[in-house]
Chains A and B, each alone.
Chain A
Amino acid sequence: MSLLQIRQLRVQYSNPEDELPTPVLDIPDWGVAAGEQVVLLGASGSGKTTLLHVVAGLILPTSGEVRLGDTDITRLDEASRDRFRAANIGYIFQQVHLLPAFTALENVLLGMKFADNRAGTAEALALLESVGLRERARYFPRQLSAGQQQRVGIARALANRPRLVLADEPTSALDARHRDVVIDLMQRMCQDIGAALIVVTHDEAVARRFPTAVRLADINHVH
């Protein structure tokens, strides 16, 4: 049984000038199994990020069902979606999205805070250790390189032991060497906690590093 199950998903953007809304996504059926690692390939503007936002519950689809385990997140109210997202989904952003006011450690702790995760500093430090940044825990984002920042981002996304990790072009700001480090890290850490991983990218080089690569165009009926 799939961990993530999408059925009859339609997302349209209403266009103020046009009478007709612009369809973005039309996915009849797609799923990801628990612990599976999938790369989703697509050109920019093809709706990859929109799909991740829908899966994360950040936007509601026009219609359809997005089920994570037993929960159809499209049926939750906003506050419940926030809580559900905090506890079940780890999000790794395209650009580096660490909060500049907080240290690496605090960025990880903030990730825990919203999930009411009582695990404290020790666990956050352990996470930083596993991304190789234990000794940089008290550094602010501006004191870290782009690759280091993205590793902190991975630690933050995994802080609540989510069932599903979503990564939106996680390596686009990195050079080839750091790209490989980050991808290895994501794969290894998701495996360690048994989380499914969906990486969206336009980069074939990234796609080659995953066992399963899906072209968005193959599952999306909007062209």
Chain B
Amino acid sequence: MHTLTVIYRNLRQRWLSTCLTALSIGLGVALVTAITALRQQAQANFDNVAASYELVVGAKGSPLQLVLNTVFHMDVPVGNLPYSYYRKLKADERVAYAVPLALGDNYRGFRLVGTEPEYFELVRLKDGQPVAVAQGRTFTADYEAVIGSIVARETGLALGQTFVARHGVEDTTAAEEHEEAPFTVVGILRETGTPLDRVIFISLGSVHEIHRESQSPAGKSLLEQLEALPAEPTAAGSPPEDKDEPDHHHHHRKTPAASAGDTPGGNKPAAPPGQSAPGQPAPSQAAADVPGQVIDEVTAIIVKLRSPGYLFLMHREINKGKDAQAALPGVEVQKLFTIVGTVDRALLLVSVLVVVVAAVSVLVAIYNSLAERRREVAVLRALGAHRRTVFGWLVWEAAITAALGGVVGVLIGHALLAAAGSSLKFLSGLPLDPWRWTRLEVGPAWLTAYVPFEVAVIAGTLLLGAVMGLLPAALAYRTNVARHLSE
């Protein structure tokens, strides 16, 4: 009879205790697995997406916020740049392409991003392919929209259908609806597995239009009304960041003038007459003169340079200037994960403690079973079993119970990812593959190269269980055979 059969029989004899013990370890392992896999896949996803963008340019402020906003379509915009800045950048001979983005509205939580149709051709994703429209076409006029694949799926919007945007980048019930400005879906993007799947693209002109139309009945733009207020807008020296302000678009923003005070032309929605860039009429004039044709500002610009050699030069040059900031998405994602890493490590530590505490329960379970098993041990000894044999069985029993927990935990951990995956994808647009192996991140290279995290964890629980089995096994080893036989 094989030793494994013996161990299996003994575990089965106390199946409830075995299952509960294994489960308690499994829950700890599930946490460790889910946290590690989630962080690893999130980081890989973020790195992948960031790699599609060389340089993003936006208003002065937090570069991380700019990257999150422009590349990942998260967080609120830093501010706006004058349209002239975009034109200047586009004209720079070192620039291969510069694509503008303008933010401000949402439809059921999905952001409306104003851009040029060239976006779909120029921006190459990690797979080397352009963003590209899968169904329909790109927009050619204002109030036409191209929607991401998740948007299409979640909202049920199809080609030819219309929808009305809400103001602000976040979906809040308080936000006003642009009743009179319905958009028509003309295209649906291919599934990219990036945050673009959650975006509704519209023309830059539309962004401008919907806000011109939502002006107050007095004919003055809301901005102009805000600027007339004494307190905020003129407070020179107030910080340019206004991250907490969800209602963040140009005509409705409350602080652009303050920002403009610090960074002339930076966040300012419209340069006052005289300071405006050449060919840039003030918005009130634009609204009056050529409705829907004049775009006064953009939120961010995606830039690709003709040569990588220009990258740091350009990055420094823009950041030195007073008008804008440039951010390197790859670098910002690294920074983000340095911050996230701290939290991640804390969570991981707690989970590992859970596993260790659960492992002690293996010890307790086997120790408790020992009282009734003393006689069995004595019988085995009387049948001719060595002390060492009985000792080994108990250690193996503990190890296998724990490893069983390890296997169950790895499965539960990935099942948690699968359960959370769809909502995470919905939140970030970044896909999770819940059943993918997780890379082992600590340990020597020869190990990490061949052994995935899950296998290492199961092996770890096996070892941990064996250690926990040592004490009860030692007690069984010392069983007084004669006494327990005659009891």
Contacts and interface: CB of A to CB of B under 8 A. Distances in A.
A8 to B, nearest CB: 21
Interface string B1-16: 1000110011011000
Interface in B378-399: 379-389
A114 B13 contact: no
Interface stretch (A28-36, A82-90, A176-184): A82-90
A153 to B, nearest CB: 10
Given A97-B375, A100-B13, A114 B481 contact: no
Nearest to B486: A49
Contacts of B481: 53, 58-59
Q: Size band of the A side of the interface? A: 20 to 34
A158 to B, nearest CB: 12
B485 interface: yes
B376 interface: yes
B482 interface: yes
Interface stretch (A101-109, A125-133, A187-195, A207-215): A101-109
B384 A85 contact: yes
Contacts of B6: 102, 110
Nearest to A156: B383
A189 B379 CA distance: 21
A101 B13 CA distance: 5
A138 to B, nearest CB: 13
Contacts of A58: 381-382, 481-482, 485
Given A49-B486, A58-B485, A59-B482, A102 B9 contact: yes
Nearest to B9: A101
Nearest to A98: B379
A106 B9 contact: yes
A20 interface: no
A82 B379 contact: no
Interface string B110-122: 0000000000000
A106 B482 contact: no
Contacts of A79: 386-388
Say what secondary structure dominates the interface of chain B: helix
B383 A91 contact: yes
Nearest to A108: B1
A87 B386 contact: no
A178 B385 CA distance: 30
Contact of B1 (A53, A56, A106, A115): A106
Nearest to B372: A100
A99 B485 contact: no
Given A59-B482, A93-B485, A101-B13, A78 B387 contact: yes
B465 to A, nearest CB: 19
B381 to A, nearest CB: 7
A15 to B, nearest CB: 15
A42 interface: no
Contacts of B13: 100-101
Interface in A144-161: 156
A159 B441 CA distance: 53
A109 B388 CA distance: 19
Given A82-B384, A106-B1, A114-B389, A53 B10 contact: no
Nearest to B385: A114
Nearest to A120: B1
B380 to A, nearest CB: 7
Most buried by A among B385, B389, B485: B485
B482 A53 contact: yes
Most buried by A among B383, B385, B386, B389: B383
19 contacts: A49-B485, A53-B481, A59-B482, A79-B388, A82-B386, A82-B387, A91-B383, A93-B382, A97-B485, A99-B380, A100-B376, A106-B1, A110-B1, A111-B384, A112-B1, A113-B1, A114-B383, A114-B389, A168-B485
Given A59-B482, A86-B384, 18 more contacts: A53-B481, A53-B482, A58-B382, A78-B387, A82-B381, A82-B386, A83-B384, A85-B382, A86-B383, A86-B385, A97-B375, A99-B379, A101-B10, A101-B12, A101-B13, A111-B383, A115-B384, A168-B485
9 closest cross-chain pairs (CB), A and B: A86-B384, A101-B13, A114-B384, A101-B9, A109-B1, A53-B482, A97-B379, A59-B482, A82-B386
